Amino acid sequence: MKKLINAPDDVVSDALEGLAAAHPSLAVDMDSRVVTRAGGPRPGKVGLVSGGGSGHEPLHAGFVGYGMLDAACPGEVFTSPVPDQMLAAARAVDGGAGVLQIVKNYTGDVLNFQMAGELAGEEGIEVRSVLVNDDVAVEDSLYTAGRRGTGATVFVEKIAGALAEQGADLAALVTVAEQVNARTRSFGIALSPATTPASGRPGFTLAEDEIEIGVGIHGEPGRRRGPIGTAAQLAETALDAIHQDLPLDGEVLVMVNGMGGTPLIELYIVFREVRRLLAARGVAVARNLVGNYVTSLEMQGFSLTVCKLTEQFTELWDAPVQTPALRWGR
């Protein structure tokens, strides 16, 4: 294992110190392991909290800032954060209007956010949760009952975050977040595995020419393995899986996401193919993200996330955002 780390046990705390030093717009509570916006909560604004295992950067801490999240709770690598973190986050961001938890569907995350929500409730903080489960690859998985949550998280965080900034109440945010999740699907393909610092070994192995089709963001198995094809073929495989589950039409928001070890030049090639295939079905890519947003350490591969836009989604997507990983319009 060759990694730029000091010791496996220090990876998350060292990285959080680096994150805090790099971004004055963030406040990092090293004891609680909670990343918030510098300056504290805005009275009357619903606080948006997300979190999950580390190793998926910039998710989630990279999306803390104006127009998106108020707090992120990073767990150990590929490990759920604990309820105490989530409770500390809820306390830190509650401006009196309650807290929305954005939870990717992994069993540990779901249970811990639920417990944290109950504890916060006992303290008088109103907490609601939305579950993100957009990955069509498999119905149940290693760490999941039901579908895994992946790329849609970025869309939910951005769109609900923009609405929260406008002063929407908790119920309205739950509604829009659920709508985004309902209209979004993802599918991932891995060319190589990732190695967690703690294990020191690749999470799985692939033959020289083999890929994992439908892979999860922790290297969970997908639908099948097969030989690598062209970028056009891989894009079609991912898009077909999505389209079969949620027939696409009209205007869509597309993310071609790198798993962490894939060159950007390759992601642009995949985007070219996705856009071409969608155009052939009469579907227009109205908005897009191409880059590393939901990674799996150094895994090579990509995931495709497609959201069927509504007028409201587009408007909220275009609204100003100022986070380390997503910035525009202000």
Q: Which residues are catalytic?
A: 56, 218
User: 58 or 98, CB closer to its own copies?
Assistant: 58
Query: Contact with its own copies (CB under 8 A): which of 175, 288, 310, 312?
Result: 288
The strand pairing partners of 303, in sequence order, are 188, 257
- Indicate the residue among 182 and 232 with the shorter CB distance to its own copies: 232
User: Looking only at residues 210 through 239 of this chain, which bind its own copies when binding is defined by CB under 8 A?
Assistant: 211, 228, 230-232, 234
Give the interface segment with its own copies, choosing from 9-17, 88-96, 124-132, 149-157 (CB under 8 A).
Answer: 9-17
Question: Is the link from the previous residue into 60 a cis peptide, with omega within 30 of 0?
Answer: yes
Between 44 and 233, CB nearer to its own copies = 233
Nearer to its own copies, 127 or 283 (CB): 283
> Of 9, 14, 118, 140, which lies in the binding site for its own copies, with binding defined by CB under 8 A?
14
Q: Is 286 in the site for its own copies (CB under 8 A)?
A: no
Please, which of residues 61-100 interact with its own copies by CB under 8 A?
Answer: 62, 77
Judged by CB under 8 A, the residue of 139, 140, 263, 315 near its own copies is 263
Residue 268 interacts with its own copies (CB under 8 A)?
Answer: yes
Nearer to its own copies, 138 or 269 (CB): 269
Answer for which of 19, 152, 215, 239 binds its own copies (CB under 8 A) is: 19
- Is position 191 an interface residue for its own copies (rule: CB under 8 A)? yes
157 binds its own copies (CB under 8 A): no
In three state form, how does the secondary structure of the chain look? CCCCCCCHHHHHHHHHHHHHHHCCCEEEECCCCEEEECCCCCCCCCEEEEEEEECCCCCCHHHECECCECEEEEEEECCCCCHHHHHHHHHHHCCCCCEEEEEECCHHHHHHHHHHHHHHHHCCCCEEEEEECCECCCCCECCECCCCCCCHHHHHHHHHHHHHHCCCCHHHHHHHHHHHHHCEEEEEEECCCCECCCCCCECCCCCCCEEEECCCCCCCCCCEEEECCCHHHHHHHHHHHHHHHCCCCCEEEEEEEECCCCCHHHHHHHHHHHHHHHHHCCCEEEEEEEECCCCCCCCCEEEEEEEECCHHHHHHHHCCEECCCCEECC
In the region spanning residues 112 to 141, those forming contacts with its own copies, defined by CB under 8 A, are none
What residue ranges bind its own copies (CB under 8 A)?
A: 2-7, 11-12, 14-19, 21-22, 54-55, 57-58, 62, 77, 191-192, 208-209, 211, 228, 230-232, 234, 260-273, 275, 285, 288, 290, 292, 295, 297-298, 300-302, 327-328
